[in-house]
Structure 1
Amino acid sequence: MKPSVAIIGTRGYPSYYGGFETAVRKLAPFLADEGWDVTVYGRKGATRDDDSSRDTRVKSRLTNGLETVSLSTLTYGLTACLDAAWRKPDVALVMNVANGYWLPILWARGIPTLVNVDGIEWDRDKWGRVAKLVFRLGAKMTSKFGTRMVYDAEAIGQRWAKEFGVDGDFIPYGGEGSPLLPIEPGLEPRKYVLMVARFVPENTVPEFMAAAERLAIDHDVVIVGSSGYGGELEERVSDLASDNPKIHWLGHVSNDARLLSLWQHAGVYFHGHSVGGTNPALVQAMAVGAPVVARDTIYNREVLEDAGIFTSPSPTDIIDNVSRLISDPMKQDELSSRAMARAREHYTWEAVCALYEQSLLRLVLQAKETMPK
């Protein structure tokens, strides 16, 4: 029997909310297969009890918190860490530096922690000055009280080494291939433009919406995502979809097969994320062969290399790059093949999960070595 692990900082298991949740959906059953005792902390109402993908070997523990934009991560992280400290697993996998404030609770109980630091949250436009300070202080607490960091991009690791003087393990996100799936009704293969993103400014959502009005003159434009809390960007895309029958807003899509189909048949997948690291949506799009136009960032270049086209975030440049690619079937096929090959070589869930297990097991062994004889 291998050790016990508590996974803290996601909405629960199985959840389809974001990248952390996707990783946990893959990792928790993998660890159970390898003999680990796995507990995933979550929130009430964030998962479905009747979800057929649920692995019954994975334990779920729900704690309380405040469901608000600014306090949900902090409050649910606190209650999860308190519960985990009482139960005392052999190791904890903690997601998000906002939970760095609560790492001293686990540290005081002698529980080693592997912390996925995510992106550079204090660079995100969606946060105000106070929130950015909160995240940066959380990162400092993480660097002091976290046992080992996980960076999902090499560039993130370099940033942490420079700003906080700590190293860690590079573990990206994974993707998985798929047999050919039926296309979304009303769309034609390689004839539509797709964006999949949470509605926050740093994902280039406002600029893409401006570009979508022009692109939709000649092509269908499919937008997947939401803010999760309503707001101006949701109102804007709702208005666009109401005014133009070629703009399709699908909201948040939790059905994996439907998302894979959308990426698989897209003429262009526009990826506008700018401040994360290795983005799970990008990796999954690559794995099923979506031709990609990505915002030109150090992170997107690290993941794509020569398997995509890069653009500035201006609506004019987005229109130009997307229009050229969707009108060039040979280029679409070329980028599709390159993306799938790169995903198979560098970004598979099997390899990602194995790296997480190695890192977790290393911390458990180190903790045993330092215990008093």
Structure 2
Amino acid sequence: MMLGLRGIPNVQGGVEKHVEMLASKLLGYGWDVEVVGRSRYLEDRRIYVWNGVDVLPLWAPRRMALEAIVHTFLGVCLAAWRRPDVLHIHAIGPALMTPLARLFGLKVVVTHHGYDYDRQKWGGFARRTLKLGEFFGMRFSNGRVAISKDIAQTMRARHHVGMTLVPNGVAITQPTGGAGALAEFGLTPRRYILLAARLVPEKRQLDLIRAFSRCGLKNIRLVLAGGAEFETVYVKEVRALAQEVPGVVLTGFQSGDRLAELFANAALFVLPSSHEGMPIALLEAMAYGLPVLASDIVANQELDLSPDDYFKLGDIDALAAGITEKLAAPLNDEEVRERAAHAEATYSWTNVAQRTAAVYSALLAK
């Protein structure tokens, strides 16, 4: 049973994408998988099956500070009743409920997806709660997974526990040609810059819009593909600035063929974020063979891109210069194919599932 996410399939978020891909791949290794999601994000309010995975809708309050923790508490109680062989909790916020799960006699695996207490949206109390969730998840779980080398090394040093490194994977959807996203938003292939991310402060959409406005580009648009679960001050600021700067397109949340069409036809993918666990959207851009430009945070640097693929976090002039340079030197077809092949070979969801299944098997063998 997997817990700690909004739900699957096609629900916005890195953890959601991780679980969506992992759960379906685990079926090939003989595991039955149940995913507990928050009912308002799911296709149906009743239990349903998606690609062989059982999806269990469960109520959660519609308040940013309470949604995850209340839902996880209810999910752990549900797990205590259903008695899965393994309860897999994703992210350090939901990991706050690890001691309760252990008290119920459950075998618990926790995946650390990133230092969520560093996200700009949280206040002091929420940050302390998330750090407590990290402590409980690392100290009380039976098995621990990290999605990046930095997280694995930090948790070993900080909590003196064993960690299994299982990086995120990447799988691309080739557009069918009939998705209609380009036509709907008036976009021309290779004439737009793309960022696919939720509208939250740590993704730094404001930085990107400001940098784009300084570039003075003609016939190039900036596409921000992503939505928001809550109408925050930051979301309002992004929308207001997007209206002021010509050429900025807000598409809202996109998935499936429509998102694939946006990726496949972009001229450049930019990720200016201040916080990532391991950036799935950046991996996807690499798998499409796109030129990329990313902030120089540790999580992005773990992907070991070329030095000119990075810019200093928060430096809008450097970001603008990087955008201009990238667009002035587009990749040729051979470079696109090489980048795509390297990304798909290096970051395989099949490998993610295999290594995760090994964590489960080792736990049950004890």
Q: Percent identity?
A: 26
TM-score by length of 1: 0.88
- Distance in 1 of aligned mates of 2:151 and 2:334: 29
The aligned residue for residue 273 of structure 1 is 273
- Distance in 1 of aligned mates of 2:91 and 2:172: 28
- Distance in 2 of aligned mates of 1:303 and 1:125: 23
Equivalent AA in structure 2 for residue 344 of structure 1:
E
| Contact 1:288 1:340 survives alignment (8 Å) | yes
Q: 1:150 aligns with which of 145, 148, 171?
A: 145
The aligned residue for residue 137 of structure 1 is 132
Deviations 1:70-108 (A, max 9, x none): 111100000000110122111111111112221122212
1:184 and 2:182 correspond = yes
2:303 counterpart SS class: helix
Equivalent AA in structure 1 for residue 230 of structure 2:
Y
1:206 counterpart SS class: helix
1:97 counterpart SS class: coil
1:320 and 2:318 correspond = no
132-141 vs 191-200, greater mean Cα deviation:
191-200
| Contact 1:308 1:339 survives alignment (8 Å) | no
1:106 and 2:101 correspond = yes
Equivalences for 1:200-279 in 2 at 5 Å? 200-215=200-215, 217-218=217-218, 219-244=220-245, 246-253=247-254, 255-279=255-279
Q: How far off is 1:308 after superposition? A: 6.3
The aligned residue for residue 32 of structure 2 is 37
1:349 and 2:349 correspond = yes
Equivalences for 1:54-73 in 2 at 5 Å? 55=50, 57-73=52-68
- Distance in 2 of aligned mates of 1:351 and 1:224: 28
1:200 to 1:180, Cα distance in 2 relative to 1, 3 A: closer
2:133 counterpart SS class: helix
Q: 2:120 aligns with which of 104, 118, 125?
A: 125
- Distance in 1 of aligned mates of 2:108 and 2:235: 37
Q: How far off is 1:216 after superposition? A: 6.2
Q: How far off is 1:116 after superposition? A: 0.9
- RMSD (Å) for aligned C-alpha atoms: 2.3
| Contact 2:24 2:51 survives alignment (8 Å) | no
| Contact 2:117 2:131 survives alignment (8 Å) | yes
Gaps in structure 2 of 5+ consecutive residues: none
Q: How far off is 1:61 after superposition? A: 2.2
| Contact 2:215 2:321 survives alignment (8 Å) | no
- Distance in 1 of aligned mates of 2:51 and 2:195: 34
Report the count of equivalent residues: 357
- Distance in 1 of aligned mates of 2:345 and 2:53: 29
- Distance in 1 of aligned mates of 2:270 and 2:311: 10
- Distance in 1 of aligned mates of 2:292 and 2:334: 11
| Contact 2:209 2:242 survives alignment (8 Å) | no
- Distance in 2 of aligned mates of 1:283 and 1:118: 15
Equivalent AA in structure 2 for residue 361 of structure 1:
S
Deviations 1:119-144 (A, max 9, x none): 01122222111111111111111122
- Distance in 2 of aligned mates of 1:37 and 1:284: 27
Deviations 1:291-332 (A, max 9, x none): 1000012211111433961011221111100111011124x7
**Runs of 4+, deviation exceeding 3 Å:** 177-183, 240-245, 332-339
1:265 to 1:181, Cα distance in 2 relative to 1, 3 A: farther
1:216 to 1:288, Cα distance in 2 relative to 1, 3 A: same
Deviations 1:325-367 (A, max 9, x none): 011124x76764453233122211121122211211221222x
The aligned residue for residue 79 of structure 1 is 74
Deviations 1:9-56 (A, max 9, x none): 112232422111112222222223433222111111211139xx9536
The aligned residue for residue 364 of structure 1 is 364
1:223 to 1:335, Cα distance in 2 relative to 1, 3 A: farther
| Contact 2:287 2:340 survives alignment (8 Å) | yes
- Distance in 1 of aligned mates of 2:173 and 2:10: 21
